Structure 1
Amino acid sequence: MPSRAVLRKKARRESKRNKRDAEAATAVKLLTPQKEQQEQQQPQKEQKEQQQKQQLQMSEVGKVKNKEGVAVVSRKRVRAAVESTAAETVPSTEGMTRKERKRFEAKRRLERQLLRLNAGMPTENTTDTNNNTNTNSNDNGIGTEAEGEEVAAAVAAETTTHITDANGASSPASGTLRHDPKFANGTFWRTRKERRQRTVFLGNVPIQFTEQNVMDLVSTAVDAEGVAGRVVEAVDFLPAKPRARQRHMFVTLCTKEIASQVVGLLNAYKLAGSELRCNFAADKAQRSEAISRRSGNTVRS
């Protein structure tokens, strides 16, 4: 009885042999010239043509005459004829190593995928204009050649809006952007830094305050200074302790000027028996000063 190591070695040898045979078969298939491929496909084409003729004959036979003598077509659907695609010219891979052949096949596969993607790109505007022109021509009855030329020019003008830029990004008229429009004027970090500059910390707010209450509080405080319109962009609550009476949050305002006004108005503001604490989240000096004002804390050296 052979050992398990010997059996594993035999199994590996068999798998290698099978893999080698499969690769040789694919290589032979790739190396077959175009004429032989066409000769092999010739009987298949003839067989398909015969099947199509038989289907047409069956459809003619399926017409039944009713009592009035009018021919009625049977309800059986005739299968559509499948167009046979022309055989692609496969370049020779003779003399290539296995790695080179794999790389070459991967490149050809990528090219075919790109061709399919480019061919399947939908153009909504052109289809809409074609439908509109068809309906208009049907309604009007007779269309002149001048009208047809004008319609063709309009369709060509709309198709030009779908042409992509030189950098590869699609134009705004196409409707499908290849990047996030939120960061069109700068990077993510620049946007985040600008947002931090207009974010303030608001502390010691009563625990029952909701997001809408905080927005109303800030809006009423700023409205007294004569600022109209939207003020608060977002409110992010910090996690509170189970039996806490106050809660803290970060409030993002629309502009830096409004943020500075809110800090001046709400800092040390008395609300429900507690003194609010409001300072810029990105200002380290204000943050250390606010920490030093807490009960029982001293300024760190």
Structure 2
Amino acid sequence: MALARAAARTRQNTLARWRRRLTLTLLTVALLAFTLIVIIPFIWMLLMSVRTTGEILNDPYGLPKTIRWQNYVKLLFDPSIRFYRYFINSVLVTTFALILTIFLATFGGYGFGRRRYEFKFRGTLFTMLLFGLMLPRQILYIPQFTMMSRYGLLNTRWSLVLVYTAMAMPVSTYLMATYFSQLPSELEDAARIDGCSDLGTFWRVMLPLARPALSTVILLNFLSFWNELLLAITMVTKPDLRTLPSAMMMFVGEHGSDYAMAAASLVTAMLPVLILYLILSDKFIEGLTAGAVKG
């Protein structure tokens, strides 16, 4: 009987190992297939950026006969394109919108996330803020355009900065409040014993501990602001103030298209996002998983 039980356990363990291996293999194949689906368009775009438009039209999926780095040189330094001007516009709009969003979201998240800051209608205000997450952005475009027109901010960078900040506030404040709520209150007590004011406690103790959530807010909003198109072409119609997404549209038109330059502009516009993600990737993942486990 003992031998039979041992043999049965051995068979069960063997079957369990094979099930785990099969599951791991299938999961690996699925992840590899998904990775290829995501990466192949980027590789194709990169190859298109070093070809001519004629080559692309004759053989869209072919390899470049000659690598043409001249496309990037023309894109960045040709005075008739002035791509650097649009790049600077995007940098200015994204930077100021990020600074304003981080400033408001960190203070707002700290106030909503720490229980010691109890004030009237605190829960109601936070609920109303979260309600902004459920509203489709498209229904806000007409009111936002009307407001910017009344304030005389159309065709200025500030219109994009203010609208981007307003649209980013609900999710940014929610992420910061969720992270701040998990930090132990003993840290604040120790800071107050050491003589820190409320602002000093926030700046010297709590905000450095919230760097993962802050990195998540920075990266998500940078990606959103940098790639936004519809508001950029609605609020700003002056060519000199165009941002990158709206400027890249000029390479593809009704009467002619320069696909090589369009691909080169896409690769160039993608680089800042890629670099920022590589810098903040560890903190970004930690910030996204904050609140998943409580204990």
Task: Name the TM tier (shorter chain).
Answer: under 0.3
Higher strand content, 1 or 2: 1
Q: Structure 2-normalised TM-score?
A: 0.23
Higher helix content, 1 or 2: 2
Q: Which has the larger radius of gyration?
A: 1
Q: Structure 1-normalised TM-score?
A: 0.23
